[in-house]
Structure 1
Amino acid sequence: MAPAAATAAKWSGKPPALPSLLLIRRVDASFAAGLRQRFRVLDFFASGEPLPAFLAAAEAPRAAVVTGGVFLAWHFQLGGKRIGIIGLGNIGSLIAKRLEAFGCVIYYNSRKPKDSVSYRYFPSVHDLAVESDVLVVACALNKDTRHIVNMDVLDALGKDGIIINIGRGANIDEAEMVRALKEGRIAGAGPDVFENEPEVPAELLSMDNVVLTHHVAVSTSESRGDLRDHTIANLEAFFSGKPLLTPVLP
C-alpha cells in the first residue's frame, strides 16, 4: 500500500487533522513549567531525536509550539514598586509626587524627617535600600553625602534592585556600582551623572541593564525658563534688600 493510502487507512478513511501552530517568542522556565502542569508536552530539543522520528512518535499532537523570533526584554512594571528616595528636597519631593501617581510606595532618607509628608522615613540609607526596589539619588553633594551609596548600600538593595542617580556623580561609589552590575549584585542602573564627568566608565557603555544620560535630567525648555525667572527674582530680592527666594545656607 502506498504511504499516503496507508496513512488514510490508519485514520479510518479520514485524514488526520493538522495540529494548530502556536508561535511564541520565548518560553522561559516558569512558562515551560506552567505548560507541563496543564498539558502533556513533548520537547523536540530535549528528545535528541531527528525531527521525522520525533513527529512520528508524537501521537497526533493538538498543537505545535514554535519558539523564536526577536525577543524584547521584559519591561519593568513601575506600579506598586517601593521607591527609596535619598534627599527629599524640592527635586526629590517632585519625583515622589510623580511616582505616587503610578501607585508607587514612597520611602525616603533626608537629614531629618519632614512633617509635611506621610512617606516612611529612614534615618539610615542602608535600611532604606533594604526596603526598596528602586533607589533614587536626589541629594546634594557634600562631605556627608559623598559615596553615600557604597558597597554596603548596593548589596542591601540586592540583585533585583535598581539604582538611579540624578543628584551628583560622587553621591555613588561609581567603581563599586560597576562591580555590582558586572557581578549581578544589583539588577540595573540609570545614572544621569558620573563621578568623573565627562568621563564615563567604559564598562557601563556595553551593559544591557544600564540606561545612561549625559547630565541632562534638568534640560528642558520649561526648566531652563523657570531657572532664568528664579535667578532674576533672586537678584531683584537681593538688590531690594529683601530675603532671597533660595538662599544658600552655610
Structure 2
Amino acid sequence: MERERLPLPDHVVTHDAGRTTVYLLHGIYGAKEYWRPLTRRLVEAGYRVIAWDAPGYGLSKRPDDFSFDVVAEAGARLIRATGTEHNVVFGHSMGGQITPRLVGKVADRVRAAVITATIGYFANRTPEEQAEFVRTRTKPPEPGTDPKVAQLAVINGMFAAGATGADVDLVREVAMQTPPDSVQASVRAVQAYPEQDAVGAFRALAVPTLLVAGSEDKVGHPEGMRRVAAMAARSEFAVVSRSGHYPWAENTAEFTPLLLDFLRRHAPAG
C-alpha cells in the first residue's frame, strides 16, 4: 500500500522489517523511551515496532489545540505514512483512550488493537475518583520541591505494592521527566473528551481488541475496564496479577505471553 508523504510527530522505528507493525502509544506520564523492553520482546517475536512521542511529549511539539482528536489524527497520519501490510495500535492509559478514535480514522489500515490500564472515558469513574485523578495530576508541587520528585510520587502510587525490576525502574525514570505542562494539557483533554464520543468510538471498534487491566490498578482498574471491554464487539479481556497501572512492565512473565498469543492469532508477524 502506498504511503503518504505527511509531516509526522517524532518517533522511533526500532525494527524496520516484517509485514506487521505495532504502534506503541504512551500515557499521560511517559514518552517513547519507556517502551524499550517491550519493544525488544516484540522485535524478538518478529514484529516491526514504532513508538512515538505524542504531541506535546518528548521531542514532539504540543499543539495549541491539544485534544484527543488532534492526537488521534496525528497517530492516523503516522500510520498512513509508515504502516505496513498489517498494523496494530497498542495504547496505554491515555493512549488507550485515544486508540479507538485513532483506529476509526484508519480502519482500513489496522488489523488489531491492544489497550492497557485505561479509564476509557472520564465518566467511567465516580465523582470522587474524578476529583482525585485531577487533583493529584494538577496540584502544584510544594515550594522548593522539584517537579520531577512531585511527579514521581504520583507515578509510584500507580504501581502495585512492591513493584520492582528493570522495566519498572525505566518507567519511573522516563515518566518522571514528563513536562508538567503536558500533563496538565492531557488531564484537561481527559476531562473534555465527550462521553458520547468515547463510548461511540469503543462501540465502533470492529477489529479484534485485547484489553488488559492490572489487578491492583487504581486508575484503569479491572471493574472499569470490564465495562469498556463490553462495548467493543470483538474484545478480549484479561487481568494481569500482581500489577498496577503498568502491567506490561510490572509482570512481564504474565503479560508478554498474553500479548504475543493475541498478536499471533490476529496479527501474525509473518
TM range, normalised to the smaller chain?
0.3 to 0.5
Q: Normalising by the residue count of structure 2, what TM-score does the alignment of the two structures yield?
A: 0.31
Choose 1 or 2 for highest CA Rg.
1
Greater RCO (Cα-Cα under 8 Å, separation 6 or more): 2
Q: Normalising by the residue count of structure 1, what TM-score does the alignment of the two structures yield?
A: 0.33
Higher helix share: 2
